[in-house]
Amino acid sequence: MAAAASTDTENPLTAGLERLPVAPTTLVIFGATGDLAKRKLLPALYNLAHEGALPERFHLIGVSRKGKEHEDFRAECEEAIRRFSRRKPDDSVLASLLETVKYIAGTFDDDAVYAALGQELDGFEKEAGEPLNRAFYLSTAPQFFPVIVDALGGNQLDHHEDAQVRVIIEKPFGTTLEEARELNRRVLATFDETQVFRIDHYLGKETVQNMMAFRFANGMFEPLWNRNYIDSVQITAAEEIGIGSRADYYDAAGALRDLIQNHMLQLLCHVAMEPPVSFTAEGVRNEKVKVLQAIPQLSAADIPGMAVRAQYGPGHAGGEDVPGYLEEEGVPEGSITETYAALRLEVDNWRWAGVPFYLRTGKRLARKVTEIAVTLKPVPHLAFSQHGSLGVQPNQLVLTLQPNEGVSLRLGAKIPGTRMIIRPVNMEFLYGTAFLSQSPEAYERLITDAMRGDATLFTRNDEVEAQWRICDPIVKYWASDLDPTHPPAHPGPPDPGPTHPVLPKYEAGSQGPREAEGLLREGDRWRAI
């Protein structure tokens, strides 16, 4: 690889940070011509190359169904990087990254593909005169995950005498608990768990990792971090965008599977986990699994009061009039897929018993915001009430993941003047301002960690199953006759009215459905999006 570009201005706060070494590796991307590869993986590789964070010897092989030559694929990679990279590419770094890129065309169950892959991998090693680690990135439609894993095993590509072989698996990891278990069984029949890296890109986000620094590197918060001081936790992942061209995937998934089962439960785990003994893959993941296990499964009787779903109708978002979900291209007529989901969960353990954890996510909401808001209990006594202690609100700590990464703490402060009138003010910390640098994209961190064999920021087999254990009853309930929004299994004579009159709707660009209010404990409120 060519030397990294040295055009970035030195930042005194981050200077001197040493890059963790990555052993020589060949990365193979299955589904290399897909959207994720173009938008995220290739730009991430470029940015790693730009920063000198790729190993000295690094090769890339793309595998996909479409027939094309190595050169065509290289040109496509270049185009994708130029279009989607977070920084303007430096020509020489880009040329050096793409110089040896190879492409293999074929279907994922075809042994000829794996024979060709084996040859390319061996060819790179011969050239290098040393064994190279291998990382297989499965960025395909999920039905191909087990097919590729089986084929890698069947073609003896799952191990190497003298180098590490790893497999990186994209989401969704199953669409039900049963499917996740089956996929784990298939994957672990070929690979050892230490070779498997299940991606949840939220874990690669700086602010999510900073949750751990925030909680466990500051003595100030941890003593308060429990049911004695914390009143409620609210986690929001709101998006302004609709489903774009992803109707095929999205209509089968819905908001609960798309974001809550993975990203949002991970955020919850970071808030609720016990301090790990060490920041190691097993240490951290053991604690997260304990949190997930402490969340009681919702029964059919509980679900209507603890889970709300809804679908967006037409409205105004991002400065333009936008269609409703049912009018989006590719959405089946009368679809009852939820584009919004909100839950009230409890973490039934010593630390958190009785504290509601509110989770909500949706497409086409008022704006993009991902945040964790921790509200403390009100003070027990207002000493200055006779002076009109107007506006006193409980402290609230808000960790914003996007768009402006940072932390803000709501405090009560006296308004200057002769009367004792209090109003809430915010104490803010913003990443961009404090560190003067752009945070790396989540995939940059995750690809490096997978190549280094560090699984701390990846979901373990029991963890992904524990996430599904929580979501499965809700998915099933929403798909069953028990749910009043679902059409009867044996419909009677055609109903002239709308097919699903009770599936809650919300206007695109709004705060979401009114029904979500019903999940809140008395006195609690959703934060404005």
Catalytic residues: 263
Q: Is 258 in the site for ligand BG6 (CB under 6 A)?
A: yes
User: Of residues 299-338, which lie at the interface with ligand BG6 (CB under 6 A)?
Assistant: none
Query: Contact letters (x/-) for ligand BG6, 382-421, by CB under 6 A?
Result: --------------------x-------------------
258 or 472: CB nearest ligand BG6 = 258
Looking at residue 94, the DSSP 8-state letter turns out to be H
Query: Contact letters (x/-) for ligand BG6, 124-163, by CB under 6 A?
Result: ----------------------------------------
**Closest distance to ligand BG6 from the beta carbon of 256 (Å):** 12
Q: Would you state the structure tokens that stand for residue 487, as one six-digit string?
A: 């059409």
**Closest distance to ligand BG6 from the beta carbon of 506 (Å):** 17
Alpha helix positions (H), 422-525 = 431-435, 442-452, 461-478
Looking up tokens 């706060």, which residue turns up? Answer: 13
172 or 356: CB nearest ligand BG6 = 172
Distance separating alpha carbons of residues 68 and 475, to the nearest angstrom: 40
**Closest distance to ligand BG6 from the beta carbon of 76 (Å):** 23
55 or 142: CB nearest ligand BG6 = 142
Residue with the shortest CB distance to ligand BG6: 258
78 or 258: CB nearest ligand BG6 = 258
Q: Is 239 in the site for ligand BG6 (CB under 6 A)?
A: yes
SS3 sequence, 157-216? CCCCCCCCEEEEECCCCCCCHHHHHHHHHHHHHHCCHHHEEECCHHHHCHHHHHHHHHHH
Q: Cα angle at 96 between 39 and 35, to 5 degrees? A: 15
460 vs 142, 175, 195, 281, CA distance in Å? 17, 16, 11, 9
264 or 303: CB nearest ligand BG6 = 264
Of the CA atoms within 13 Å of residue 230, those in its CB half-sphere come to 24
**Closest distance to ligand BG6 from the beta carbon of 172 (Å):** 8
Element (H, E) at 375: strand 369-376
- For the sheet with 165-169, list strands across it: 102-105, 58-64, 25-30, 133-138, 165-169, 196-198
The number of residues that bind ligand BG6 (CB under 6 A) is 5
51 or 200: CB nearest ligand BG6 = 200
Contact 362, 256 (CB under 8 A): no
**Closest distance to ligand BG6 from the beta carbon of 370 (Å):** 6
**Closest distance to ligand BG6 from the beta carbon of 363 (Å):** 7
User: Of residues 27-56, which lie at the interface with ligand BG6 (CB under 6 A)?
Assistant: none
**Closest distance to ligand BG6 from the beta carbon of 337 (Å):** 12
Distance separating alpha carbons of residues 73 and 62, to the nearest angstrom: 8
**Closest distance to ligand BG6 from the beta carbon of 40 (Å):** 9
Q: Would you state the structure tokens that stand for residue 200, as one six-digit string?
A: 């949840």
36 or 148: CB nearest ligand BG6 = 36
231 or 239: CB nearest ligand BG6 = 239
Q: Is 463 in the site for ligand BG6 (CB under 6 A)?
A: no
Q: What is the DSSP string of 314-346?
A: EEEETTEEE--GGGSTTPPTT----SEEEEEEE
152 or 322: CB nearest ligand BG6 = 322
Contact 409, 415 (CB under 8 A): no
Helix (H, G, I), strand (E, B) or coil at 144: helix
**Closest distance to ligand BG6 from the beta carbon of 524 (Å):** 25
Distance separating alpha carbons of residues 359 and 235, to the nearest angstrom: 5
Phi, psi (degrees; rounded to nearest 5) at 133: -65, 155
Distance separating alpha carbons of residues 144 and 64, to the nearest angstrom: 12
Query: Contact letters (x/-) for ligand BG6, 345-384, by CB under 6 A?
Result: -------------------------x--------------
Contact 358, 524 (CB under 8 A): yes
Q: Using CB atoms within 10 Å of the CB of residue 116, give its burial: 0 to 12 exposed, 13 to 18 middle, 19+ buried.
A: middle
Contacting positions for ligand BG6 (CB under 6 A)? 239, 258-259, 370, 402
